[in-house]
């Protein structure tokens, strides 16, 4: 939402139509907070996924060679 560009006085706004649905103006801060929290959670999850990737080919080779020492 481009709230800084909206020129409609607040007293004339009775509802907002968004991808979330039709919401009352009092719910806008909640939607913004939820969206921000979701974006932060997605960023943390993406970072965790990239830092905890496993090279399955290496594990398979070690299992075949008998050099796998850590249980999977």
User: What pLDDT score was predicted for residue 48?
Assistant: 61
Residue 20, C-beta contacts closer than 8 angstroms, at least 6 positions apart? 31
The pLDDT assigned to 42 comes to 78
Element (H, E) at 31: helix 28-51
- Note the pLDDT tens digit of each residue in 13-67: 899 888 878 888 888 888 888 888 888 887 777 766 555 555 666 766 777 776 6
Average pLDDT over residues 1-21: 77
Question: Which of 8, 33, 28, 6 has the alpha carbon at shortest distance from 17?
Answer: 28
Q: What is the CA radius of gyration of the chain?
A: 24
Question: Which pLDDT belongs to residue 3?
Answer: 60
- Ordered by start, the domain boundaries in the chain are 3-65
* pLDDT value of position 7: 78
Taking every pair of Cα atoms in the chain, the longest distance, rounded to a whole number of angstroms, is 73
Residue 10, number of CB atoms within 10 A of its CB:
7
């Amino acid at each position: 939402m481009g709230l800084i560009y909206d020129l409609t006085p607040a007293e004339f706004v009775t509802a907002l139509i968004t991808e979330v649905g039709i919401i009352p103006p009092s719910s806008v801060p909640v939607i913004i907070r939820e969206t921000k929290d979701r974006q932060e959670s997605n960023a943390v999850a993406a970072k965790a996924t990239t830092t905890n990737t496993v090279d399955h080919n290496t594990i398979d080779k070690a299992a075949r060679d008998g050099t796998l020492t850590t249980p999977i």
